[in-house]
Amino acid sequence: MIPLFKDSSQKINNLKQLYSLIHKHGPITKGSLVELSGLKQSTCARLIEELLEEDAILESGLAESSGGRKPLTYQINPRLFYLIGIDISRIYSKILLMDLDLSVLGEARMSMRENSTPELTIDWIQAEVTRLLEKHQIPLSSVLGLGIGAVGPLNRETGMITNPSNFPSIGWRNVPICQILGDYFDRPVLLDNGANTAVLGEYRYGFWTEADSMVYNITGVGIRCGTLANGQVIRGPVDMEGAYGHMTVDIHGKKCTCGRYGCLNAYSTTLAIQEEVMQRLKRGHPSLLRNKGLDVEHIEFTEICAAVKEQDPLCCEVVHEAAYYYGIGLANMMVLLHPNLVVLGGALVTEMDYFYDVTTQTAKEKLGFYPDYPIHFSRGRLGENAIAVGAGSMVFESCLR
Protein backbone atom coordinates (compact mmCIF):
# COMPACT_ATOMS: atom_id res chain seq x y z
CA MET A 1 0.00 0.00 0.00
CA ILE A 2 1.42 3.41 -0.90
CA PRO A 3 1.89 5.93 1.98
CA LEU A 4 -0.88 8.17 0.61
CA PHE A 5 -3.46 5.63 1.74
CA LYS A 6 -2.06 4.64 5.13
CA ASP A 7 0.26 7.13 6.85
CA SER A 8 -0.62 10.25 8.77
CA SER A 9 1.85 13.13 9.08
CA GLN A 10 1.74 16.78 8.03
CA LYS A 11 3.31 15.96 4.70
CA ILE A 12 0.99 13.00 4.08
CA ASN A 13 -1.97 15.14 5.13
CA ASN A 14 -0.93 17.74 2.52
CA LEU A 15 -0.65 14.95 -0.06
CA LYS A 16 -4.11 13.68 0.88
CA GLN A 17 -5.57 17.17 0.67
CA LEU A 18 -4.09 17.72 -2.78
CA TYR A 19 -5.13 14.26 -3.97
CA SER A 20 -8.69 14.86 -2.70
CA LEU A 21 -8.85 18.18 -4.56
CA ILE A 22 -7.62 16.54 -7.77
CA HIS A 23 -10.20 13.78 -7.26
CA LYS A 24 -13.06 16.24 -6.82
CA HIS A 25 -12.11 18.91 -9.35
CA GLY A 26 -9.97 17.05 -11.87
CA PRO A 27 -8.93 17.62 -14.56
CA ILE A 28 -7.41 20.60 -12.73
CA THR A 29 -4.34 22.79 -13.22
CA LYS A 30 -1.51 23.41 -10.76
CA GLY A 31 -2.60 27.07 -10.49
CA SER A 32 -6.13 26.11 -9.44
CA LEU A 33 -4.75 23.60 -6.93
CA VAL A 34 -2.56 26.30 -5.32
CA GLU A 35 -5.63 28.51 -5.05
CA LEU A 36 -7.91 25.80 -3.59
CA SER A 37 -5.35 24.23 -1.21
CA GLY A 38 -3.71 27.38 0.16
CA LEU A 39 -0.34 25.60 -0.22
CA LYS A 40 2.74 27.46 -1.51
CA GLN A 41 3.35 27.07 -5.25
CA SER A 42 6.68 25.26 -4.66
CA THR A 43 5.13 22.87 -2.10
CA CYS A 44 2.24 22.16 -4.44
CA ALA A 45 4.60 21.45 -7.36
CA ARG A 46 6.70 19.07 -5.22
CA LEU A 47 3.64 17.17 -3.98
CA ILE A 48 2.25 16.86 -7.52
CA GLU A 49 5.59 15.34 -8.60
CA GLU A 50 5.34 12.86 -5.74
CA LEU A 51 1.79 11.87 -6.65
CA LEU A 52 2.85 11.42 -10.29
CA GLU A 53 5.79 9.22 -9.24
CA GLU A 54 3.43 7.00 -7.22
CA ASP A 55 1.03 6.77 -10.19
CA ALA A 56 -1.67 8.16 -7.90
CA ILE A 57 -2.45 10.90 -10.43
CA LEU A 58 -2.11 11.27 -14.19
CA GLU A 59 -1.44 14.18 -16.52
CA SER A 60 -4.70 14.48 -18.37
CA GLY A 61 -4.16 17.09 -21.07
CA LEU A 62 -3.96 20.83 -21.43
CA ALA A 63 -6.32 23.47 -20.10
CA GLU A 64 -7.39 26.57 -22.01
CA SER A 65 -4.84 29.36 -21.64
CA SER A 66 -5.61 32.96 -20.78
CA GLY A 67 -2.36 33.91 -22.61
CA GLY A 68 0.96 32.09 -22.98
CA ARG A 69 1.51 28.32 -22.76
CA LYS A 70 -1.48 26.10 -22.05
CA PRO A 71 -1.13 24.64 -18.52
CA LEU A 72 -1.13 20.89 -17.82
CA THR A 73 -4.11 19.38 -16.03
CA TYR A 74 -4.17 16.48 -13.56
CA GLN A 75 -6.68 13.83 -12.55
CA ILE A 76 -6.55 10.81 -10.26
CA ASN A 77 -5.45 7.47 -11.68
CA PRO A 78 -8.74 5.54 -11.44
CA ARG A 79 -7.07 2.14 -11.81
CA LEU A 80 -4.49 2.57 -9.04
CA PHE A 81 -6.75 0.58 -6.71
CA TYR A 82 -10.21 -0.96 -6.82
CA LEU A 83 -13.25 -0.96 -4.54
CA ILE A 84 -15.90 -3.54 -3.69
CA GLY A 85 -19.33 -2.10 -2.79
CA ILE A 86 -22.02 -4.38 -1.37
CA ASP A 87 -25.71 -3.64 -0.87
CA ILE A 88 -27.63 -6.00 1.43
CA SER A 89 -31.31 -5.08 1.25
CA ARG A 90 -34.66 -6.72 1.82
CA ILE A 91 -35.56 -7.39 -1.81
CA TYR A 92 -32.10 -8.08 -3.31
CA SER A 93 -28.38 -7.97 -2.56
CA LYS A 94 -25.84 -6.56 -4.95
CA ILE A 95 -22.04 -6.50 -5.37
CA LEU A 96 -20.17 -3.97 -7.49
CA LEU A 97 -16.52 -4.00 -8.51
CA MET A 98 -15.46 -0.38 -9.12
CA ASP A 99 -12.40 1.65 -9.91
CA LEU A 100 -11.55 4.79 -7.91
CA ASP A 101 -13.75 6.92 -10.21
CA LEU A 102 -16.63 4.73 -9.01
CA SER A 103 -17.08 3.37 -12.53
CA VAL A 104 -18.67 -0.08 -12.33
CA LEU A 105 -16.48 -2.78 -13.90
CA GLY A 106 -18.55 -5.78 -12.90
CA GLU A 107 -21.56 -6.71 -10.78
CA ALA A 108 -23.54 -9.56 -9.23
CA ARG A 109 -27.13 -9.52 -7.96
CA MET A 110 -29.17 -11.96 -5.90
CA SER A 111 -32.86 -11.85 -4.92
CA MET A 112 -33.37 -12.09 -1.17
CA ARG A 113 -35.79 -14.92 -0.45
CA GLU A 114 -36.95 -16.95 2.54
CA ASN A 115 -33.78 -19.08 2.34
CA SER A 116 -31.41 -16.06 2.10
CA THR A 117 -29.87 -16.64 5.51
CA PRO A 118 -26.69 -14.81 6.59
CA GLU A 119 -24.67 -17.98 5.82
CA LEU A 120 -26.03 -18.30 2.28
CA THR A 121 -25.64 -14.56 1.60
CA ILE A 122 -22.05 -14.43 2.91
CA ASP A 123 -21.10 -17.55 0.91
CA TRP A 124 -22.55 -15.85 -2.18
CA ILE A 125 -20.56 -12.65 -1.49
CA GLN A 126 -17.31 -14.59 -1.06
CA ALA A 127 -17.86 -16.55 -4.29
CA GLU A 128 -18.98 -13.58 -6.39
CA VAL A 129 -16.25 -11.17 -5.23
CA THR A 130 -13.66 -13.86 -6.04
CA ARG A 131 -15.25 -14.46 -9.46
CA LEU A 132 -15.38 -10.73 -10.31
CA LEU A 133 -11.72 -10.21 -9.36
CA GLU A 134 -10.61 -13.24 -11.38
CA LYS A 135 -12.67 -12.18 -14.38
CA HIS A 136 -11.04 -8.73 -14.39
CA GLN A 137 -7.61 -10.09 -13.42
CA ILE A 138 -7.38 -7.89 -10.34
CA PRO A 139 -5.33 -9.24 -7.40
CA LEU A 140 -6.79 -8.89 -3.90
CA SER A 141 -3.85 -6.66 -2.97
CA SER A 142 -5.18 -4.06 -5.44
CA VAL A 143 -8.51 -3.86 -3.61
CA LEU A 144 -8.60 -0.99 -1.09
CA GLY A 145 -11.37 -2.70 0.85
CA LEU A 146 -14.99 -3.82 0.92
CA GLY A 147 -17.83 -1.52 1.93
CA ILE A 148 -21.27 -2.77 2.93
CA GLY A 149 -24.53 -0.82 2.99
CA ALA A 150 -27.09 -2.88 4.90
CA VAL A 151 -30.51 -2.51 6.50
CA GLY A 152 -30.35 -1.14 10.04
CA PRO A 153 -30.28 -1.28 12.93
CA LEU A 154 -26.62 -2.22 12.86
CA ASN A 155 -23.41 -1.41 14.70
CA ARG A 156 -20.82 0.39 12.57
CA GLU A 157 -18.10 0.15 15.22
CA THR A 158 -18.30 -3.63 15.66
CA GLY A 159 -19.26 -4.22 12.01
CA MET A 160 -22.35 -6.15 13.02
CA ILE A 161 -25.80 -6.32 11.44
CA THR A 162 -27.85 -6.47 14.64
CA ASN A 163 -31.55 -6.76 13.89
CA PRO A 164 -32.82 -5.69 10.45
CA SER A 165 -36.60 -5.53 10.20
CA ASN A 166 -38.75 -7.15 7.49
CA PHE A 167 -36.02 -9.46 6.15
CA PRO A 168 -37.55 -12.41 4.28
CA SER A 169 -35.18 -14.91 5.92
CA ILE A 170 -34.63 -15.70 9.59
CA GLY A 171 -31.18 -15.61 11.23
CA TRP A 172 -30.18 -11.99 10.61
CA ARG A 173 -29.48 -11.18 14.26
CA ASN A 174 -26.04 -10.07 15.48
CA VAL A 175 -24.21 -11.10 12.30
CA PRO A 176 -20.48 -10.08 12.53
CA ILE A 177 -20.28 -9.61 8.78
CA CYS A 178 -17.18 -7.35 8.74
CA GLN A 179 -15.16 -9.84 10.76
CA ILE A 180 -16.24 -12.82 8.61
CA LEU A 181 -15.48 -11.09 5.29
CA GLY A 182 -12.33 -9.43 6.68
CA ASP A 183 -10.96 -12.83 7.76
CA TYR A 184 -11.83 -14.36 4.39
CA PHE A 185 -10.41 -11.65 2.11
CA ASP A 186 -7.78 -10.14 4.45
CA ARG A 187 -8.89 -6.65 3.37
CA PRO A 188 -10.54 -3.86 5.43
CA VAL A 189 -14.34 -4.19 5.57
CA LEU A 190 -16.60 -1.28 6.59
CA LEU A 191 -20.32 -1.35 7.39
CA ASP A 192 -22.93 1.40 7.42
CA ASN A 193 -26.65 1.56 6.83
CA GLY A 194 -27.76 1.63 3.21
CA ALA A 195 -29.34 5.09 3.37
CA ASN A 196 -26.03 6.60 4.54
CA THR A 197 -24.06 4.87 1.80
CA ALA A 198 -26.71 5.84 -0.80
CA VAL A 199 -26.46 9.54 0.05
CA LEU A 200 -22.66 9.29 -0.08
CA GLY A 201 -22.81 7.41 -3.39
CA GLU A 202 -25.02 9.97 -5.12
CA TYR A 203 -22.97 12.83 -3.68
CA ARG A 204 -19.63 11.38 -4.75
CA TYR A 205 -20.82 10.14 -8.11
CA GLY A 206 -22.17 13.35 -9.52
CA PHE A 207 -23.60 15.89 -7.14
CA TRP A 208 -20.54 16.89 -5.09
CA THR A 209 -19.62 19.81 -7.32
CA GLU A 210 -23.24 21.06 -7.23
CA ALA A 211 -24.53 20.51 -3.68
CA ASP A 212 -22.88 20.09 -0.29
CA SER A 213 -25.96 19.20 1.73
CA MET A 214 -28.24 16.41 0.63
CA VAL A 215 -30.93 14.11 1.89
CA TYR A 216 -31.49 10.64 0.42
CA ASN A 217 -34.81 8.95 1.19
CA ILE A 218 -35.55 5.37 0.33
CA THR A 219 -39.17 4.32 0.52
CA GLY A 220 -40.19 0.78 -0.21
CA VAL A 221 -40.99 -1.98 2.28
CA GLY A 222 -39.75 0.49 4.91
CA ILE A 223 -38.57 4.09 5.00
CA ARG A 224 -34.86 4.82 5.30
CA CYS A 225 -33.10 8.16 5.29
CA GLY A 226 -29.48 9.35 4.99
CA THR A 227 -28.36 12.96 5.37
CA LEU A 228 -25.18 14.75 4.39
CA ALA A 229 -24.11 18.27 5.43
CA ASN A 230 -20.99 20.16 4.34
CA GLY A 231 -19.98 17.09 2.34
CA GLN A 232 -20.05 14.79 5.38
CA VAL A 233 -22.58 12.05 6.15
CA ILE A 234 -24.33 12.87 9.42
CA ARG A 235 -24.02 9.90 11.76
CA GLY A 236 -25.54 9.88 15.23
CA PRO A 237 -24.31 8.01 18.30
CA VAL A 238 -26.42 4.99 17.29
CA ASP A 239 -27.78 3.84 13.95
CA MET A 240 -31.18 5.48 13.38
CA GLU A 241 -31.62 4.82 9.68
CA GLY A 242 -35.32 4.03 10.01
CA ALA A 243 -36.15 6.89 12.41
CA TYR A 244 -37.54 9.10 9.66
CA GLY A 245 -40.30 6.53 9.11
CA HIS A 246 -41.45 7.15 12.70
CA MET A 247 -41.83 10.92 12.23
CA THR A 248 -45.36 11.83 13.36
CA VAL A 249 -47.38 13.19 10.45
CA ASP A 250 -50.83 12.89 12.06
CA ILE A 251 -51.33 12.98 15.83
CA HIS A 252 -54.76 11.37 15.40
CA GLY A 253 -53.46 8.92 12.82
CA LYS A 254 -53.21 5.22 12.16
CA LYS A 255 -51.31 2.81 14.39
CA CYS A 256 -47.69 2.14 13.36
CA THR A 257 -45.76 -1.12 13.79
CA CYS A 258 -43.84 0.63 16.62
CA GLY A 259 -47.10 0.80 18.60
CA ARG A 260 -47.40 4.59 18.36
CA TYR A 261 -49.87 6.52 16.22
CA GLY A 262 -49.59 8.61 13.08
CA CYS A 263 -46.02 7.67 12.01
CA LEU A 264 -45.09 8.11 8.34
CA ASN A 265 -44.55 4.33 8.14
CA ALA A 266 -48.29 3.81 8.69
CA TYR A 267 -49.03 5.56 5.37
CA SER A 268 -46.13 5.71 2.94
CA THR A 269 -44.62 2.24 2.50
CA THR A 270 -45.47 -0.51 0.02
CA LEU A 271 -46.92 -2.54 2.92
CA ALA A 272 -49.09 0.36 4.17
CA ILE A 273 -50.41 0.98 0.65
CA GLN A 274 -51.16 -2.72 0.09
CA GLU A 275 -52.97 -2.87 3.45
CA GLU A 276 -55.07 0.23 2.70
CA VAL A 277 -56.02 -0.98 -0.80
CA MET A 278 -57.10 -4.37 0.60
CA GLN A 279 -59.17 -2.70 3.35
CA ARG A 280 -61.02 -0.54 0.84
CA LEU A 281 -61.62 -3.46 -1.51
CA LYS A 282 -63.15 -5.39 1.39
CA ARG A 283 -65.41 -2.42 2.11
CA GLY A 284 -66.74 -2.65 -1.44
CA HIS A 285 -64.98 0.31 -3.12
CA PRO A 286 -65.06 -0.01 -6.91
CA SER A 287 -61.69 -0.84 -8.51
CA LEU A 288 -60.18 -2.37 -11.63
CA LEU A 289 -58.47 -4.86 -9.28
CA ARG A 290 -61.86 -6.33 -8.42
CA ASN A 291 -62.64 -6.90 -12.10
CA LYS A 292 -59.35 -8.83 -12.49
CA GLY A 293 -60.57 -11.44 -10.05
CA LEU A 294 -57.66 -10.95 -7.61
CA ASP A 295 -57.74 -12.27 -4.04
CA VAL A 296 -58.54 -9.22 -1.87
CA GLU A 297 -56.53 -10.80 0.97
CA HIS A 298 -53.33 -10.81 -1.13
CA ILE A 299 -52.90 -7.82 -3.42
CA GLU A 300 -49.28 -7.51 -4.60
CA PHE A 301 -47.57 -4.12 -4.84
CA THR A 302 -46.86 -4.70 -8.55
CA GLU A 303 -50.62 -5.12 -9.15
CA ILE A 304 -51.25 -1.74 -7.49
CA CYS A 305 -48.54 -0.11 -9.65
CA ALA A 306 -50.20 -1.49 -12.79
CA ALA A 307 -53.63 -0.28 -11.60
CA VAL A 308 -52.26 3.24 -10.96
CA LYS A 309 -50.93 3.30 -14.54
CA GLU A 310 -54.45 2.43 -15.69
CA GLN A 311 -55.75 5.29 -13.49
CA ASP A 312 -57.76 3.03 -11.23
CA PRO A 313 -59.60 5.46 -8.89
CA LEU A 314 -59.16 3.39 -5.71
CA CYS A 315 -55.42 2.76 -6.13
CA CYS A 316 -54.77 6.35 -7.26
CA GLU A 317 -56.57 7.69 -4.19
CA VAL A 318 -54.60 5.46 -1.79
CA VAL A 319 -51.27 6.27 -3.47
CA HIS A 320 -52.15 9.98 -3.51
CA GLU A 321 -52.76 9.85 0.24
CA ALA A 322 -49.49 7.98 0.84
CA ALA A 323 -47.56 10.48 -1.28
CA TYR A 324 -49.25 13.43 0.40
CA TYR A 325 -48.14 12.24 3.85
CA TYR A 326 -44.65 11.55 2.48
CA GLY A 327 -44.51 15.09 1.10
CA ILE A 328 -45.46 16.47 4.51
CA GLY A 329 -42.70 14.41 6.11
CA LEU A 330 -40.19 15.68 3.53
CA ALA A 331 -41.23 19.29 4.10
CA ASN A 332 -40.80 18.85 7.89
CA MET A 333 -37.32 17.46 7.35
CA MET A 334 -36.37 20.23 4.91
CA VAL A 335 -37.51 22.93 7.34
CA LEU A 336 -35.00 21.51 9.84
CA LEU A 337 -32.06 20.62 7.59
CA HIS A 338 -32.58 22.92 4.55
CA PRO A 339 -30.61 20.70 2.16
CA ASN A 340 -29.64 21.87 -1.37
CA LEU A 341 -30.92 18.64 -2.80
CA VAL A 342 -33.39 15.88 -1.91
CA VAL A 343 -32.94 12.56 -3.69
CA LEU A 344 -35.84 10.13 -3.62
CA GLY A 345 -35.29 6.43 -4.21
CA GLY A 346 -36.91 3.08 -3.41
CA ALA A 347 -39.72 1.09 -5.00
CA LEU A 348 -42.50 3.65 -4.46
CA VAL A 349 -40.53 6.31 -6.34
CA THR A 350 -38.95 4.14 -9.03
CA GLU A 351 -42.14 2.19 -9.81
CA MET A 352 -44.66 5.03 -9.61
CA ASP A 353 -44.23 8.44 -11.26
CA TYR A 354 -47.52 9.44 -9.65
CA PHE A 355 -46.10 8.95 -6.13
CA TYR A 356 -42.98 11.02 -6.97
CA ASP A 357 -45.04 13.83 -8.54
CA VAL A 358 -47.55 14.15 -5.66
CA THR A 359 -44.78 13.91 -3.01
CA THR A 360 -42.61 16.65 -4.52
CA GLN A 361 -45.60 18.92 -5.26
CA THR A 362 -46.83 18.55 -1.67
CA ALA A 363 -43.40 19.32 -0.18
CA LYS A 364 -43.02 22.38 -2.43
CA GLU A 365 -46.46 23.62 -1.47
CA LYS A 366 -45.73 23.16 2.25
CA LEU A 367 -42.46 25.09 1.89
CA GLY A 368 -44.15 27.88 -0.08
CA PHE A 369 -43.63 30.37 2.76
CA TYR A 370 -39.90 30.45 1.85
CA PRO A 371 -40.12 31.40 -1.84
CA ASP A 372 -36.35 32.06 -2.03
CA TYR A 373 -35.42 28.55 -0.84
CA PRO A 374 -34.17 26.76 -3.96
CA ILE A 375 -35.75 23.31 -3.73
CA HIS A 376 -34.23 20.61 -5.91
CA PHE A 377 -35.67 17.13 -6.05
CA SER A 378 -34.09 14.30 -7.96
CA ARG A 379 -34.44 10.57 -8.40
CA GLY A 380 -30.64 10.40 -8.36
CA ARG A 381 -28.19 9.31 -11.01
CA LEU A 382 -27.27 5.86 -9.75
CA GLY A 383 -30.69 4.21 -9.46
CA GLU A 384 -30.48 0.77 -7.87
CA ASN A 385 -26.66 1.00 -7.59
CA ALA A 386 -26.64 3.96 -5.16
CA ILE A 387 -26.21 1.92 -1.95
CA ALA A 388 -23.39 -0.28 -3.31
CA VAL A 389 -21.55 2.60 -5.05
CA GLY A 390 -21.68 4.58 -1.81
CA ALA A 391 -20.47 1.56 0.18
CA GLY A 392 -17.37 1.36 -2.03
CA SER A 393 -16.94 5.11 -1.82
CA MET A 394 -17.01 4.89 2.00
CA VAL A 395 -13.90 2.67 1.87
CA PHE A 396 -12.08 5.13 -0.40
CA GLU A 397 -13.09 8.04 1.82
CA SER A 398 -11.85 6.29 4.97
CA CYS A 399 -8.40 5.82 3.37
CA LEU A 400 -8.16 9.54 2.65
CA ARG A 401 -9.46 10.73 6.01
Where does this chain bind Zn ion (CB under 5 A)?
A: 246, 256, 258, 260, 263
3-state secondary structure string, 234-281? CCCCCCCCCHHHHCECCCCCCECCCCCECEHHHCCCHHHHHHHHHHHH
Q: Which is nearer to Zn ion, 233 or 272 (CB)?
A: 272
Q: Which is nearer to Zn ion, 47 or 223 (CB)?
A: 223
Pair 354, 319: CB distance under 8 Å: yes
Q: Which is nearer to Zn ion, 44 or 263 (CB)?
A: 263
| SS3 state at 156 | coil
- The 3-state DSSP composition of the chain as helix, strand, coil percent (nearest 5) reads 45, 20, 35
Q: Long-range contacts of range 276-281, CB-CB < 8 Å, 24 or more positions apart?
A: 276/318, 276/321, 276/322, 277/304, 277/314, 277/315, 277/318, 280/314, 280/318, 281/314
**Smallest gap, in angstroms, from Cβ of residue 169 to Zn ion?**
24
CA 268 – CA 223 distance, rounded (Å): 8
Q: Which is nearer to Zn ion, 54 or 250 (CB)?
A: 250
Q: Which is nearer to Zn ion, 246 or 290 (CB)?
A: 246
Residue 349: HSE in the Cβ half-sphere, 13 Å Cα cutoff? 22
Q: Which is nearer to Zn ion, 132 or 263 (CB)?
A: 263
**Smallest gap, in angstroms, from Cβ of residue 130 to Zn ion?**
41
Q: Which is nearer to Zn ion, 182 or 253 (CB)?
A: 253
CA–chain centroid gap for 9, Å, is 32
**Smallest gap, in angstroms, from Cβ of residue 217 to Zn ion?**
16
Pair 224, 193: CB distance under 8 Å: yes
Q: Which residues in 139-161 are b (16+ Cβ under 10 Å) and which e?
A: eeeebbbbbbbbbbbbbbeebbb
CA 214 – CA 261 distance, rounded (Å): 28
